[in-house]
């Protein structure tokens, strides 16, 4: 490997660390040793990197809202990426994650306690779940893309359609209560 290639790998690692990716992911993407990436992290952020394993896919997909968000990330990732079922395309993942983040914050979901954003590290794990076929993307009859996980605890259905149905039911209940109060 030439000096230029080494510097390119180091620059890529710095960029990925700044985006918030874990040392283990940055090491895999940049093909630099984890000890070197850990040292870069320490110099960049003046703190040691977090240790421990990344969450498993089923630990990430814990509720309907997270599954909807994961569907958005993975749908965009599949549209953007190349050769995505063999290895994680980090450039496509970053673009897909940027689209998701922009939508998440523009819709002000970050102000709602029911919605918690997915981290870029978790998005990486979801892409790995696609490769290992632990996650599959399906399309419901209404045209929504949704996630299906091998070991999910939730019912196998379109999460977005399910959430819309629940929210519409809540709105109807509120309207009925208002009508009853007005009738009194």
Q: What's the burial of 13, exposed, middle or buried (CB within 10 Å: 0-12/13-18/19+)? A: buried
Report the mean per-residue pLDDT for the chain: 89
Helices 64-80 & 90-106, crossing angle to 10 degrees?
Answer: 130
C-alpha radius of gyration, the chain, whole number: 20
- Are the C-beta atoms of residues 113 and 13 closer than 8 Å to each other? no
Model confidence pLDDT, tens digit, residues 146-158: 988 887 766 678 8
DSSP string over 25-43: HHHHHHT--HHHHHHHHHH
- Are the C-beta atoms of residues 38 and 49 closer than 8 Å to each other? yes
pLDDT of amino acid 23 = 94
pTM (two decimals): 0.83
Model confidence pLDDT, tens digit, residues 92-102: 999 999 999 99
């Amino acid at each position: 490997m030439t000096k230029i290639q080494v510097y390119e790998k180091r620059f890529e690692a710095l960029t990925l660390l700044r985006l918030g990716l874990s040392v283990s992911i940055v090491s895999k993407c940049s093909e630099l040793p984890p000890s070197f990436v850990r040292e870069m992290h320490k110099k960049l952020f003046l703190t040691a990197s977090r240790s421990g394993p990344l969450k498993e896919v089923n630990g990430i997909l814990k509720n309907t809202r997270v599954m909807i968000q994961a569907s958005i990330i993975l749908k965009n990732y599949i549209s953007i990426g190349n050769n995505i079922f063999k290895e994680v395309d980090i450039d496509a993942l970053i673009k897909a994650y940027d689209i998701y983040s922009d939508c998440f914050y523009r819709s002000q979901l970050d102000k709602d306690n029911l919605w918690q954003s997915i981290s870029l590290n978790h998005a990486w794990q979801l892409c790995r779940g696609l490769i290992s076929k632990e996650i599959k993307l399906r399309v419901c009859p209404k045209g929504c893309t949704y996630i299906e996980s091998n070991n999910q605890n939730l019912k196998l259905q379109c999460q977005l359609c399910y959430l819309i149905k629940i929210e519409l039911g809540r709105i109807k209940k509120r309207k009925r209560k208002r009508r009853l109060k007005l009738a009194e």
